[in-house]
Chains A and B, each alone.
Chain A
Amino acid sequence: MAALKTIFVSVITAVMLLGGTATQEVTSTQLIEEAKAYDTKEIIYTGEVIGDIMQRGDHSWVNVSDGSNAIGVWILSDLVRDIKFTGRYKVKGDTVKVTGIFYRACKEHGGDMDIHASDIKILKQGYKISEATSIWQAVFTVLGLVLTILLSIHIFRKKL
């Protein structure tokens, strides 16, 4: 009976420990819509690094977008050295998986909604994107410019 009791207590404790501290994978929409529920909890957040990595002392700000919103990630600068691409025009940024504590209104950062990351993993490296240009648009533009120049000469000569 005592052995059964010990096994039961151990199982309950293990479930509580594992279940209670399990890090949840969340989206930016979840974080914004249910901010109070996730406040000060450890979460996993995945998205594309966008814009700039802004170094502030030994830490850096990295903004990570999952397509719906971008969330600021406060992280040790050493941990972001491997990030090669940040998302901008013609560049798809590295896709990263951030593990850290989420703050609804971070006291350290003037009430910002942010994640203090303890770990960051690059899931997929970013890449450059080539531009597509339309030949028809180019032809149309050249014709339009020629017409406009002719009209402008007419206006200039007639002093309209």
Chain B
Amino acid sequence: MAKYFRLIDRNNFRSGNDYHSIHNLYDFWLLGIKLTDSVSSTIKIIGYYIGKVVTLLGFIQVIPLVTSLIYSEWSIVLSFSTSISISLFTGSLLIIFCNSEKNRRVDWSHGMIIAAFSWLLGMLLCAIPYYLSGNFLSYLDACFDVMSGLTTTGVVLIQDLDHVSNGINMWRHVLTYLGGQGMVVLALTFLVKSTSGSYKMYVGEAKDEQLLPNVINTAKAIWFISIVYLAVGTIVLWITGICIGLPVDRSFLHALWIFMAAWSTGGFAPQTQNILYYHSFWLEIITIVFFVIGSFNFTLHYALWNKNRKEILKNIEIQSMSVTLTALTLITFAGLIKLNVYPDFISMFRKGFYLLISGHTTTGFMTIYARQFFNEWGNVALFAVTVSMLIGGSACSTAGGFKGIRMGIIFKGFIRDIKRILLPESMVQVDKFHHIKDIKMEEKHLRSALLIVIAYILTFAIGTLAGLFFGYPLASSAFEAASVTGNVGLSIGITKASMPNTLKIIYITIMWIARLEFMSVFALITYIFFRKRRRWLH
């Protein structure tokens, strides 16, 4: 596998060294978006690349279409055919009408807007087969589940999941797998030949680190890693499924879907009981392994595949996650023991630890019923899981949340400030953190980490407030808001089809903003606002 990457670029491996780009991007955003092109030119540049992404989404739907054909699900075949034709038609129109600007330089504002708008339009188009399948009460509900899948959140509004077709189930899990790796990343891999502007779109999708110098090769490497794991993971889970009593064909489909959801830290499952459906200790252990690996930074995967095994011990994100996971596990266990929720250690592990790590990696797999959180867990354990969901997994991974690297940098910054107070003023201290290589910690690292964490906390506060406004208790509102903000998918029971439509829209917006780590969506909003203001001035 390492040979594959060496073939892509033998001498110029540089990974993990673009962390400072976040800082530069924030400077760029704070200064305001530079818009020197005319409106039509900008729209055409954006439209052309969005057309490519939409076309890709049309092609991707062939996978569930074929699944439905194999299982003779004719109405679902028709739904996907309709959806494919609409997606390809829309994509083709955008490409045809916007191609005159395709050779123009894509700047940062374009890259950000392409990423943000692709996800919005993608949501609307990918919801078509959902809605046509009849498994959703409204188009809004279908859009909610698409955004939940693409952002690897995992909360659902689908009706009667236990009777859902294989085609729709395949689509649910393909969406979450696609969203985990990034749909713009996929479009870059297969549909964009030019590297011009690709990095800006790649960053717009909240992946700011390059595995390889060329962003298209980076995108290919991400997909290569994911597909190799998909093959291995599906086989492991397939065998496990057969051992726990699933029929061979069903076991294969469940294995494929569960792996996609685990690796993408998505949290979808083909049955309403989620992972509880299988009643299996071993399946739970295997899913833990896969979703933990899925929450790792792709640059870390790449380093490990290049036989840099020590990286796993030295990496700031792994260290940060180990500390927060240990601390939160102790708090969760203390809370559960205090209320005597589980009878023994094994139960505590399979429920308490499983749900905590599922939340921390932002997966959202569940081994209890949503209402059990509220009825049985108590405030201490709920607090620990809520915090774990907000912290999340690693940057440049499939996970959401603040991200381990930012927690690590903030913690190191905190220690550095304490040292400054205690040590003599004349003493010059140089702090470093290790992420693939030793990086000298500068103010810009701390500032950018704090900015993103503050943005997450504000989003979480808005989500909690929205829950309170619609009459849900504080603990429940905070838990569900943390789940959608961190793109987790654990639910305390608020997310259901009967919840208010306004709250559904708020949750969709939060999932979208948080998954793209704010920047692209802010760029889109700023662009619309800026343009409007300019029109008024003229």
- The prevalent SS among residues of A at the interface is mixed
Selected interface stretch from A8-16, A19-27, A127-135: A127-135
Question: Do residues A32 and B271 form an inter-chain contact, with CB atoms below 8 A?
Answer: no
Quick check: B346 and A110 within 8 Å, CB to CB? yes
Contacts of B162 in A (CB 8 A): 50-51, 65, 70, 87-88
Are A32 and B375 interface neighbours, CB within 8 A? yes
Query: Do A32 and B245 have beta carbons less than 8 Å apart?
Result: no
Chain A residues in 8 Å Cβ range of B372 = 32, 35, 113
A141 and B95 contact, Cβ closer than 8 Å, known pairs A52-B250, A131-B73: no
Task: Please determine whether A32 and B369 come into contact, CB atoms closer than 8 angstroms.
Answer: yes
Check: A105 CB closer than 8 A to any chain B CB: yes
Q: Nearest Cβ in chain B — how far from A30, in angstroms?
A: 11
Chain A residues in 8 Å Cβ range of B247: 52
Closest approach, in angstroms, between the C-beta of A142 and any C-beta of chain B? 8
Q: Is the CB of B273 within 8 A of A63?
A: yes
Q: What is the bound-complex CA distance between A152 and B136, given in angstroms?
A: 32
Which residues of chain A from 115 to 160 have a CB within 8 Å of any chain B CB? Answer: 131-134, 137-138, 140-141, 144-145, 147-148, 151-152, 154-155, 158, 160
Question: How far, in whole Å, are A111 and B93 apart by their CA atoms in the complex?
Answer: 55
Q: What residues on B are CB-neighbors of A133 within 8 Å?
A: 74-75, 78
Which of A55, A87, A105 makes the CB contact (< 8 A) with B342?
A105
Question: Do A111 and B350 touch (CB < 8 A)?
Answer: yes
Cα-based distance from A118 to B86 in the complex (angstroms): 53
Is the C-beta of A45 less than 8 angstroms from some C-beta in chain B?
no
B40 touches A (CB below 8 Å): no
CB-CB under 8 A from B79, the residues of chain A are 137
Q: Determine whether the beta carbon of B78 is less than 8 Å from that of A110.
A: no
* B277 close to A (CB within 8 Å): yes
Residues of chain A with a CB closer than 8 A to B99's CB: 158, 160
Contact with A along B61-92 (1 / 0, CB 8 A): 00000000001011100110110111011001
Q: Which of B82, B85, B281 contacts A110 (CB 8 A)?
A: B281
Contact with A along B270-311 (1 / 0, CB 8 A): 011100111101000000000000000000000000000000
Chain B stretch 454-512: residues in CB contact (< 8 A) with chain A: none
- Residues A87 and B163 in contact, CB atoms below 8 Å apart: yes
Q: Is B347 an interface residue (CB 8 A)?
A: yes
Q: Which residues of A contact B71 (CB under 8 A)?
A: 89
| Bound Cα distance from A34 to B520, whole angstroms | 45
Instruction: Tell me how far the C-beta of B478 lies from the nearest C-beta in chain A, rounded to whole angstroms.
Output: 21
Q: Which residues of A contact B82 (CB under 8 A)?
A: 137, 140-141, 144
Q: How far in angstroms is the closest Cβ of chain A from B168?
A: 8
> Do A70 and B273 touch (CB < 8 A)?
yes
- Are B245 and A151 interface neighbours, CB within 8 A? no
A155 touches B278 (CB 8 A): no
Q: What chain B residues lie within 8 Å of A104 (beta carbons)?
A: 376
Q: How far is the CA of A109 from the CA of B343 in the complex (A)?
A: 11
Smallest CB separation, B288 vs chain A (Å) = 13
CB 8 Å contact bits of B91-107 with A (1 = contact, 0 = none): 01101100100100000
**Known contacts A50-B162, A88-B163, A145-B81, A111 near B351 by CB under 8 Å:** yes
Is B348 positioned at the interface, with any CB of A under 8 Å from its CB?
yes
| Interface class of chain B by DSSP | helix
**A87–B372 CA distance with the chains assembled, in angstroms:** 25
- Please indicate the chain A residues that have their CB under 8 angstroms from the CB of B279 in the complex: 54, 61, 72, 74, 109, 112, 114
Q: Once bound together, how far apart are the Cα atoms of A112 and B346, in whole Å?
A: 11
8 Å CB contact of B78 from A89, A112, A137: A137
Q: Tell me, yes or no, whether A83 is within 8 Å of chain B by CB.
A: no
Cα–Cα, bound, A147→B188 (Å)? 26
Q: Decide if B348 touches A148 in the complex (CB within 8 Å).
A: no
> Are the C-beta atoms of B245 and A54 separated by less than 8 Å?
yes
The docked-state distance in angstroms from the alpha carbon of A141 to that of B74 is 13
Provide the bound-state CA to CA distance between A133 and B88, in Å: 23
Is B244 close to A, CB under 8 A? yes
CB distance from B382 to the nearest CB of A (A): 17
Q: At the interface, yes or no: A56 with Cβ under 8 Å from chain B?
A: yes
Known: A70-B271, A133-B74, A144-B82. A89 touches B164 (CB 8 A): yes
- Beyond A50-B271, A155-B96, is A137–B163 a contact (Cβ under 8 Å)? no
Assembly CA distance A100 to B88 (angstroms) = 54
> Which residues of the other chain, A, contact B226 by a CB distance below 8 angstroms?
none
Partner of B346, one of A53, A111, A158: A111
Q: Determine which of A36, A63, A106 lies in contact with B271 in the assembled complex, contact meaning CB atoms within 8 Å.
A: A63
Q: How far is the CA of A70 from the CA of B271 in the complex (A)?
A: 9
Q: Is the CB of A89 within 8 A of B166?
A: yes
Within the complex, the shortest CB–CB distance from A75 to chain B, in Å, comes to: 12
Residues of B within 8 A of A145 (CB): 81, 84-85
Q: Are B88 and A152 in contact (CB under 8 A)?
A: yes
Asked if A60 is an interface residue, CB under 8 A from chain B, the answer is yes
Assess whether A58 is interfacial by the CB under 8 Å rule.
no
Task: Return chain B residues, CB-CB under 8 Å to A52.
Answer: 245-247, 250
CA distance A52 to B241 in the complex (A): 11
| Whole-angstrom CA separation of A155 from B277 in the bound complex | 47
Residue in contact with B371 in the complex, picked from A33, A111, A141, A154, CB distance below 8 Å: A33
Which residues of A have CB within 8 Å of B342? 105, 111
CB-CB under 8 A for A70 and B89, given A51-B271, A111-B346: no
Cβ of A56: which chain B residues have Cβ within 8 Å of it?
Answer: 244-245
Contact between A72 and B88, CB atoms less than 8 A apart: no
Q: Kindly report which residue of chain B lies nearest to residue A160, judged by CB atoms.
A: B99
Given contacts A50-B271, A155-B95, contact A107 B132 (CB under 8 A): no
A151-B92 in contact (CB<8A):
yes
Binding site for B on A (CB under 8 A): 32-33, 35-36, 50-56, 60-61, 63, 65, 69-70, 72, 74, 87-91, 104-107, 109-114, 131-134, 137-138, 140-141, 144-145, 147-148, 151-152, 154-155, 158, 160
What would 13 A/B residue contacts be, using CB atoms closer than 8 Å? Answer: A56-B245, A60-B245, A69-B272, A87-B162, A89-B163, A105-B341, A110-B281, A111-B348, A133-B74, A134-B78, A140-B82, A145-B84, A154-B92
Shortest 9 CB-CB distances between A and B: which pairs?
A111-B347, A144-B85, A54-B245, A151-B92, A110-B350, A50-B162, A89-B165, A148-B88, A160-B99
Given contacts A111-B351, A134-B75, A134-B78, 9 further A-B contacts (CB under 8 A): A32-B371, A35-B372, A52-B246, A54-B244, A63-B277, A107-B347, A110-B347, A112-B279, A131-B73
